[in-house]
Amino acid sequence: MARQFMKGNDAIVVGALAAGCRAYYGYPITPASEIAHAAALHFPALGGVFIQAESEVAAMNMVYGTAGMGVRTMTASSSPGFSLKQEGLSYAAGAELPCVVVNIVRGGPGLGNIAPEQGDYFQITKGGGHGNYRLIALAPNGAQEMCDLTMHAFELADKYRNPACIMADGITGQMMEVVEIPKALPKTWDHTSWCVDGTPGTAGNLVSSIILEPLELEAHNLKLEAKYEQIRNHEVMFEKYAVDDADLVVVAYGVVSRIVYSTVDQARAEGLKVGLLRPITVWPFPSAVITSLCATAKAFLAVELSTGQMVEDVRLAVEGRKPVHFYGRCGGVVPGGDELLAEYRRVLGGGSR
Amino acid sequence: MKTYEKSGGFFPVFERKTGPAKDATHYCPGCGHGNVHKMIAEALEEFGLLGRSVFVSPVGCSVFGYYYFNCGNFQAAHGRAPAVATAVKRTNPDSIVISYQGDGDLAAIGTAETIHTANRGENICVFFVNNAIYGMTGGQMAPTTMIGQRSTTTPQGRIETVHGNPIRMAEMLATLPAPTYIERVAIGDSKHIMKARKAIRKAIRIQAEGKGYSFVEIVSACPTGWKMDPVHAREWLLEDMLKVFPLGVFKDESDSREEDSWLRRYDAYDPAVVDEYLDRLKSTLGDAEPVALAEDLHCKFAGFGGQGILTLGLLLSQIGMRAGQHVSWFPAYGPEMRGGTANCSVNVCGSRIGTPLVETPNVLVVMNQPSLDAFEKEVVDGGVIIIDTTIVEGRPDDKRLRPVLIPATAIADEVGTAKIANVVVLGALVAATGCFPRAFCEDTLRAAIKKRSLVDMNIDAFGRGYEFVKNAR
Ligand code: SF4
């Protein structure tokens, strides 16, 4: 079996290569730099492109260039760098270019720190750049998923001609786990109908996001929105653990879902009927399953490394049918299992913190 | 302005253009863009390059370059055309890529992209139309606006001590080693125009020959932005602008560079090649039959940096992986790092691992005193605590925990180097927990240790740690 013990950040690059990604453009930033290190090693060795760009902005616009050629391409950064990529992401979404952007989220706002956080949830799932667009956003919680969801992100990006984002955190990036090395995907995609790749066959095409006429731009926006509706309807991914009979459904993604997972059996041993619902796609958000769980759950608890961002989507899905609680740590502080168990007791027992 | 004798490099009809006049450009009368467009279009057509050409339009008056050029077209974000052009060229080195930019785009918001694209010697052409003003957005000051020149954002005229000076991009870029060819020309009188045409053709030829980066700055009139009629505009250009922006060749190494010397390699995706490559990344430990794990291990390893703490964790992880168990390894990171200590969390489990952070270890290894102080209380009741007594003076609570006291560093010294104390500890850990059989661990070490010359020493260290614990029982 082709396995290797590797960091989540390295697994992203393995997944990208196996998905047929041919060009990596990046800029150094902790804690995402290992992705660039691995890309610098592997992309040129495979006859692909690696450029350490002059800025995050340039890196993202290089992605725009290669994506516009119909070639799979990516960049990776961490929160402050991801903020700088918003311009290019908006252009790529507007021009309908498939690409993958990784954000190894760290503490903010501003320079913040390099410790794990999930404070970029709004930026990733609600837009971030200007205009009406969405990022397809996947949140792996281990090294194998860093690889597999990166591959899936390339597939989704291509399928919908839209940027896709891998939203991870410093722990998932730095942690090493056993990764099953995937088979390279067959090359099934062909973008010659719209891409511009410097060959006569595509010379009549245009890669652009400018549409001057208001009616035409409105139509373009509606077309994008229809696409986003398709994604909402077909691409939601989540994982359930012990939720079907749970009184308390804990909603958590990324590394937090691992911590919650560790506590579920402990909580149940204490007689607390707790379950975990883990969004794997944070956009589209698994709203429908949360809505359906309102029939059985007594309450919901969103746990995040933030001051409360995803909890808003949980509330939107619950629509006031059941209480929605929030527990968050941020700034790089990661909640311990004991802390979470105390929170479950409080919520289910109606006690105070 | 009508483009008479339309070049074959242009679309026959400008269908992409909004409005009724599909045979005229959107540029104002007397604007230099039309001339420059025509020179580029003609050159691409005559050199037979149209089919593989990609024209990158910027933001500015030439944002609509794609209305006209009968080749592949990109429209880029403001200032980013060189970044887009870089990627296009790198992803298809056979393409002919043109980054067409104005002064605001190239010398203000896109300065970084401009300089670094030149500095990397990207094998593209940058055509820079310098008309000393922002035309599209309504006549604001450009980085190349002249001292005294009025604009909508310098209503009193550009003042050196307030707005800085007009920036000379050609001269600046000519200080870089990578560019092949840098020239400034003008759309002024007919002699100038001939020179401009020559320069543009030369730049395109350099790219086609794979000789590297060319930059042609074209001083050009913007009657609208300057609020002049076309005749006066051209006079002002010739008399005033060229004093600040002297014409000439600032760099030309096109004769001394080899053909294709600046072409970069690019291979299209081939899954078979990728598979073969990825196969080389796989673990070399070899496959073993799954080995049962006595009890799930939640370990914390802590000590000073340089004691091989992280490696100790990796070695145990490799043993666990080879045994077919679930394994996670996580190094101290961010706020967990304190006082020059290193620590890592390792889980080796028979089933799926939850949190990779070991909060309550059932095995703690401490190789310095601060680690004992910091982590002893976190160990679960009855947990194993392994202490290198050569270094750590304190002793743990032996009623609550199962201490393993081993002079690991001293033993390592006997083996040959104190550096190998971590492997002595690994032997002690395996003996104390009985997690995996000794022989299986030693086989894994033999496979895991890359330097052949170090294998015997590691096996010796592991064995001594193992024996020490067994004999102490
Ligand atoms: S505003 Fe100036 S640069 Fe723009 S089209 Fe008119 S003359 Fe040309």
**Strand ranges (E), B108-193:** 125-130, 181-186
pLDDT per residue as tens digits for the range B121-138: 999 999 999 999 999 999
The rounded percent of chain A whose pLDDT value lies above 90 is: 97
Q: Are residues A20 and A61 in the same domain?
A: yes
| Domain around B187 | 33-252
Q: Name the residue of B26, B27, B134 to mutate for ligand 1: max ligand atoms within 8 A of Cβ.
A: B27
The residue among B290 and B209 whose pLDDT is bigger is B209
Pairing of strands A281-283, B297-304: unpaired
How far apart, in Å, are the Cα atoms of B156 and each of A28, A159, B241?
A: 43, 54, 18
Q: How far is the CA of B58 from the centre of ligand 1 (A)?
A: 14
Sequence-separated (6 or more) residues with CB below 8 Å from residue B413: none
DSSP for B342-355?
EEEEEEEESS----
Task: Report which of A147, A149, A141 is spatially closest to residue A169, judged by C-alpha positions.
Answer: A141
Q: Are residues B239 and B319 in the same domain?
A: no
Q: Which ipTM was obtained for this model? A: 0.96
Q: Report the alpha-carbon distance of residue B15 to residue B239 in Å, rounded.
A: 38
Q: Are residues A336 and A228 in the same domain?
A: no
For residue B416 the two structure tokens come to 């040959």
DSSP for B287-327?
-------SS-EEEEEEEETTS-HHHHHHHHHHHHHHTT-EE
Q: Are residues B321 and B446 in the same domain?
A: yes
Output the pLDDT for position B341.
76
Ligand 1 in reach of B34 Cβ (< 6 A): no
Q: Would the pLDDT of A1 be above 70?
A: no
**Strand ranges (E), B82-165:** 96-102, 125-130
Q: Are residues B309 and B247 in the same domain?
A: no
Output the pLDDT for position A315.
98
State the average pLDDT over residues A260-266. Answer: 96
Q: Report the alpha-carbon distance of residue A66 to residue B124 in Å, rounded.
A: 15
Specify the ligand 1 atom closest to the Cα of B60. 4
Q: Are residues A172 and A64 in the same domain?
A: yes
Q: What is the DSSP letter of B150?
A: -
How many independent structural domains does chain A possess? 2
Q: Report the alpha-carbon distance of residue A308 to residue A117 in Å, rounded.
A: 12
Q: Are residues B120 and B201 in the same domain?
A: yes
Ligand 1 in reach of B131 Cβ (< 6 A): yes
Instruction: With H, G, I as helix, E, B as strand and everything else as coil, classify residue A321.
Output: coil
A182, A200, A234 - which closes a domain: A234
The rounded percent of chain A whose pLDDT value lies above 70 is: 99
Q: Would the pLDDT of B335 be above 60?
A: no
Q: What is the DSSP letter of B36?
A: H
Instruction: With H, G, I as helix, E, B as strand and everything else as coil, classify residue B62.
Output: helix
Residue B13 lies in a domain: no
Residue B223 lies in a domain: yes
B252, B284, B308 - which closes a domain: B252
For residue B425 the two structure tokens come to 């500890």
Q: Name the residue of B36, B101, B222, B227 to mutate for ligand 1: max ligand atoms within 8 A of Cβ.
A: B222
Q: Are residues B118 and B229 in the same domain?
A: yes
Query: Which of A5, A171, A181 has the CB atom closest to B278's CB atom?
Result: A181
User: Are A57 and B72 inside 8 Å of each other by CB?
Assistant: no
Q: Are residues A125 and A90 in the same domain?
A: yes
Ligand 1 in reach of B135 Cβ (< 6 A): yes
User: Are B271 and A187 inside 8 Å of each other by CB?
Assistant: yes
Ligand 1 in reach of B224 Cβ (< 6 A): yes
Output the pLDDT for position B452.
87
Q: What is the dihedral of CA B420, B426, B432, B436, to 10 degrees?
A: -140
pLDDT per residue as tens digits for the range A325-346: 999 999 999 999 999 999 999 9
Q: Are residues A73 and A194 in the same domain?
A: yes
Cβ contact B11:B65 at 8 Å: no
Q: Are residues A183 and A247 in the same domain?
A: no
Q: Are residues B177 and B86 in the same domain?
A: yes
State the average pLDDT over residues A18-32. Answer: 97
Helix axes B309-322, B421-433, angle to 10 degrees: 40
Helix axes A337-349, A255-269, angle to 10 degrees: 60
Cβ contact B71:A203 at 8 Å: yes
Q: Are residues A124 and A269 in the same domain?
A: no
Q: Would the pLDDT of B120 be above 70?
A: yes
**What letter represents residue B58's amino acid?**
P
Q: What is the DSSP letter of B147?
A: B
Q: Which residues does chain A have within 8 Å of residue B122's beta carbon, measured at their own beta carbons?
A: none
Output the pLDDT for position A149.
98
Preferred mutation among B14, B71, B88, B89 to probe A, highest tally of A CBs within 10 A? B88
Residue B280 lies in a domain: no
Q: How far is B156 from chain A (nearest CA, A)?
A: 33
pLDDT per residue as tens digits for the range A226-251: 999 999 999 999 999 999 999 999 99
- What average pLDDT does chain A have? 97
Q: Which residues does chain A have within 8 Å of residue B86's beta carbon, measured at their own beta carbons?
A: 51, 62, 65
pLDDT per residue as tens digits for the range B302-311: 999 889 999 9
B197, B219, B252 - which closes a domain: B252
Q: Are residues B232 and B93 in the same domain?
A: yes
Task: Report which of A123, A133, A103, A95 is spatially closest to residue A231, judged by C-alpha positions.
Answer: A133
A217, A234, A251 - which closes a domain: A234
Confidence class for position B285, pLDDT limits 50, 70, 90? confident
The pTM of the full predicted model, rounded to 2 decimals, is 0.96
Query: Which of B18, B317, B355 has the CB atom closest to A259's CB atom?
Result: B355
Q: Which residues does chain A have within 8 Å of residue B87's beta carbon, measured at their own beta carbons?
A: 23, 25, 49, 51, 61-66, 69, 73
How far apart, in Å, are the Cα atoms of A317 and each of A251, A287, B104, B431?
A: 12, 5, 47, 53
Confidence class for position B3, pLDDT limits 50, 70, 90? very low
- What average pLDDT does chain B have? 94
First CA to last CA distance, chain A: 48
Q: Report the alpha-carbon distance of residue A341 to residue A125 in Å, rounded.
A: 29
Cβ contact A41:A17 at 8 Å: no
Q: Would the pLDDT of A179 be above 90?
A: yes
A214, A234, A254 - which closes a domain: A234
Backbone angles phi, psi at A9, to 5 degrees: -60, -40
| CATH classification of the domain holding B62 | 3.40.50.970
Q: Are residues B245 and B322 in the same domain?
A: no
Q: How far is A161 from chain B (nearest CA, A)?
A: 16
Closest residue by CA, ligand 1 atom 5? B27
pLDDT per residue as tens digits for the range B341-398: 789 999 999 999 999 999 999 999 999 999 999 999 999 999 999 999 999 999 998 8
Output the pLDDT for position B6.
81
Q: Are residues B313 and B438 in the same domain?
A: yes
pLDDT per residue as tens digits for the range A58-109: 999 999 999 999 999 999 999 999 999 999 999 999 999 999 999 999 999 9
Q: Are residues A226 and A269 in the same domain?
A: no
Closest residue by CA, ligand 1 atom 2? B222
Containing H/E element for A52? strand A49-52
| CATH classification of the domain holding A107 | 3.40.50.970
Confidence class for position A159, pLDDT limits 50, 70, 90? very high
Q: Would the pLDDT of A323 be above 90?
A: yes
The residue among A238 and A350 whose pLDDT is bigger is A238
pLDDT per residue as tens digits for the range B78-108: 999 999 999 999 999 999 999 999 999 999 9
Query: Which of B16, B279, B353 has the CB atom closest to A2's CB atom?
Result: B279
Query: Which of B116, B314, B327 has the CB atom closest to A54's CB atom?
Result: B116
Residue B372 lies in a domain: yes
Specify the ligand 1 atom closest to the Cα of B226. 2
Q: Are residues A222 and A160 in the same domain?
A: yes
Confidence class for position B332, pLDDT limits 50, 70, 90? confident
Residue with tokens 């370059």: B65
Q: Report the alpha-carbon distance of residue A95 to residue A82 in Å, rounded.
A: 19
Ligand 1 in reach of B31 Cβ (< 6 A): yes
Instruction: With H, G, I as helix, E, B as strand and everything else as coil, classify residue B107.
Output: helix
Q: Are residues A106 and A204 in the same domain?
A: yes
Helices and strands: H and E segment counts in chain B? 17, 13
Query: Which of B53, B271, B353 has the CB atom closest to A186's CB atom?
Result: B271
pLDDT per residue as tens digits for the range A96-126: 999 999 999 999 999 999 999 999 999 999 9
How many independent structural domains does chain B possess? 2
| CATH classification of the domain holding B369 | 3.40.920.10
Output the pLDDT for position B340.
61
Nearest residue on chain A to B281, alpha-carbon basis: A4
Output the pLDDT for position B257.
97
Q: Report the alpha-carbon distance of residue A107 to residue A116 in Å, rounded.
A: 6
Q: How far is A82 from chain B (nearest CA, A)?
A: 17
Cβ contact B120:B178 at 8 Å: yes
B252, B287, B305 - which closes a domain: B252
Cβ contact A106:A83 at 8 Å: no
Q: Would the pLDDT of B333 be above 90?
A: no
Q: Are residues A329 and A186 in the same domain?
A: no
Q: Are residues B218 and B309 in the same domain?
A: no
Output the pLDDT for position B2.
47
The rounded percent of chain B whose pLDDT value lies above 90 is: 90
Q: Are residues B247 and B321 in the same domain?
A: no
Q: Are residues A259 and A211 in the same domain?
A: no
Residue A226 CB neighbour total at 10 angstroms: 9
| Domain around A70 | 3-234
